[in-house]
Amino acid sequence: MTSPSVDELPSAAETLTSQIPSHTAPIVPIPSSNDAEAVGEKRKRDDDDDEKTTNLESSTPSPWFKTSLCSYFRRQGSCSHGAACKYAHGENELRQKPDNTWDPTSERGKKAKMMSENAVKEEEEVGDVMFTEEMMDDNDGGGGGSVHDLSLSKCLVHLPTKWQSDDLKTFLREQGVEYKFAKKRRGMMVGFLTFENAEQLKNGVEILEGKNVNNKSLKIADVLPRTFDKNGAKNPAAKLKSAREAVTPLADLSYADQLEQKKASIAQMLKKLTRNARKACPNGKSLPEWVLQSREIGGLSCKLEGIIESPLVNGYRNKCEFSTGYSVEGKLTVGFMLGNFSAGVTAVEEAVNCPNISKLACRYASIFQSFLEKSRLPVWNRFKSCGFWRQLTVREGSKPGVVSSDEDADSRIAEVMLMVQVCSTDTDEAEVATEFEEMAKAFAEGARASSPPLPLTVLVVQDHVGISNVAPPDCPLRLLPIPVSDNGTHQDQSTNVLTEARIHDHINNLRFSISPTAFFQVNTCAAEKLYSLAGDWADLGPDTLLFDVCCGTGTIGLTLAHRVGMVIGIEMNASAVSDAERNAKINGISNCKFICSKA
């Protein structure tokens, strides 16, 4: 059970006062480190405090004077004591307490609490850092020699992301830390450090551990050992994190327990929303009604009805983005990253036993991985921001009206789009054309060789030169012909029947056209329930004007169009707007208009 926040609990003074008969004089606490006043709790006070306040003014001010916010001023915007009040009337009057803390109900107190909680959370989350070979082997002039002795290597976590290697080295010199090799990549919160000997390591850790840098406490972490050494021998000390643990951390729980945990997480978000709204309300202004009513429902910003179960629990995702890279053991891999690059994690592991991914998507990732092992062009290097092959996106379109059981979820898939992201910078055009031809052949042959054969509708290449794999909507796309086999000759023949890169999916018996970069709900079966419930809650009717903001391909507006008078969809992705207009036309829906613009 989640503990209520400070604002949700009655203070000790309020509880005691409520138990005292009404004819009893109010009790004025003497300021001390153990009083409710010292911890910023609320207290009851009436006009008899005037005399005591006057006596206070004539004596030496208490060290606790103006260290707590006045609850009367905060709630009503005024206080009968005026400037003589021993409590602070707003953040500007608030003083720090003798123990160097702030009133926990104040802005600075809440900020300090949040920073403390985040520091504890980060401390718990930081463990072994999974660098791949590029980070350890790329000795950029940092002293020469090998940096593979992990017993003398450490990672500094919580470094400023703007820092580069030179900034890290400058910081180490300022702290008097002797080292052999130091490396830091811009955009990462982690730096790599290796020492000459055990004494240097010990001294360096003692100096750096807990050091404050830009209001963050440095954490010293171990580097994850390779699972295999250079000779191929397995390292028994290595610890491997699987893609299943990284991508689906709740997978080992029952579905009922997963729903409970998600419900609890959402409840915390709703409570945080209430607290943030209370904090953002200016002094002297009345709190919104929903904030006041939140006390009646445990501090939630609104009533939490619960979590609606998904019709499909396994293999439900219709879109998967597989990264290219190297595993912890240095194997070229198409799969999922085991963490955030900014946190120093670059290892990629195959999508094995990830229950939310379809077997079809995993099969195409495996086919692509086999092709890359023979390719003459390199995979993307996240440290150097160079390479050619970057990412594989698998998008699936389902048959109309089919909701399969988890055991045969793949049977509902009718169309498949493969989008391969590359970076063609500094490459030979003829060589790239040859690679694309061989890749298309590999996908086609792999799809036919599978049992049962895999659908393959569209193969498209996205040429993206940015550092991150997140490409802009107008990134160049190239549609590739898919070789087909003649049943008589068994020879591959290219087909160019498709003139546009798109597949189709179905929601509520409506057919939706999906282009490569357009947004579409990744769980179509659950989306049907979501849209229907949203329509019920919105109390739609024939006179309703429905705005579908950030409409994507128009799924929400189109599925609810028969319940309203008019739908206006707004979307900044031009291709998605084109899809939405096309979807309205192919489904015979005339009361929808879509606008390409920022919402």
Stretches in the chain below the pLDDT threshold 50: 1-58, 120, 122-130, 132-134, 136, 138-147, 227-238, 496
| Alpha-carbon Rg for the chain in angstroms | 31
Q: Are residues 84 and 232 in the same domain?
A: no
* pLDDT tens for each residue of 447-485: 999 989 999 999 999 999 887 778 887 789 999 999 987
For residue 148, give Cα distances in angstroms to 227, 239, 328: 13, 17, 14
Q: Are residues 566 and 474 in the same domain?
A: no
CA 14 – CA 43 distance, rounded (Å): 6
Q: Are residues 374 and 467 in the same domain?
A: yes
Last residue in a domain, options 206, 239, 272: 239
Concatenated DSSP letters of 535-577: HHHTT--TT-EEEEET-TTTHHHHHHGGGSSEEEEEES-HHHH
Tokens linked to 100: 């160097």
CATH value at residue 471: 2.40.50.1070
Give the relative orientation of helices 429-449 and 359-374 as an angle to the nearest 10 degrees.
140
Q: Is residue 120 part of a domain?
A: no
Domain count, the chain: 4
Binding site annotation covers 493?
no
Burial environment of residue 480 by CB neighbours within 10 A (0 to 12, 13 to 18, 19 or more):
buried
Q: Is residue 50 part of a domain?
A: yes
For residue 152, the model assigns a pLDDT of 87
Q: Are residues 592 and 470 in the same domain?
A: no
Tokens linked to 235: 């390292």
Q: Could you check whether the bond before residue 452 is cis, i.e. omega within 30 degrees of 0?
A: yes
Q: Is residue 273 part of a domain?
A: no
Q: Is residue 385 part of a domain?
A: yes
DSSP 587: T
DSSP 129: B
Residues 6+ apart with CB under 8 A from 278: 7, 287, 291
Q: Are residues 490 and 524 in the same domain?
A: no
Q: Is residue 13 part of a domain?
A: yes
CATH value at residue 545: 3.40.50.150
Binding site annotation covers 96?
no
Tokens linked to 440: 């298309």
Q: Is residue 245 part of a domain?
A: no
For residue 251, give Cα distances in angstroms to 81, 243, 257, 525, 549: 59, 11, 10, 20, 33
Q: Are residues 486 and 361 in the same domain?
A: yes
Q: Are residues 140 and 26 in the same domain?
A: no
Last residue in a domain, options 239, 268, 294: 239
Last residue in a domain, options 218, 239, 260: 239
Q: Is residue 537 part of a domain?
A: yes
Distance of alpha carbon 335 from its chain centroid, rounded?
18
Question: Can you give the residue range of the structural domain that contains 584?
Answer: 517-596
Q: Are residues 487 and 568 in the same domain?
A: no
* pLDDT tens for each residue of 231-247: 444 444 445 578 898 88
CATH value at residue 156: 3.30.70.330
Q: Are residues 436 and 533 in the same domain?
A: no
Q: What is the dihedral of CA 404, 408, 409, 410, to 10 degrees?
A: -130
Q: Are residues 343 and 470 in the same domain?
A: yes
For residue 116, give Cα distances in angstroms to 110, 120, 125, 216, 273: 10, 6, 14, 10, 19
Q: Are residues 96 and 43 in the same domain?
A: yes
For residue 327, the model assigns a pLDDT of 86
Residues 318, 523: contact at Cβ < 8 Å? yes
Half-sphere exposure of residue 547: CA atoms within 13 angstroms, side-chain side: 4
For residue 52, the model assigns a pLDDT of 46
Q: Is residue 297 part of a domain?
A: no
Residues 6+ apart with CB under 8 A from 472: 466
Q: Are residues 373 and 427 in the same domain?
A: yes
CA 580 – CA 508 distance, rounded (Å): 16
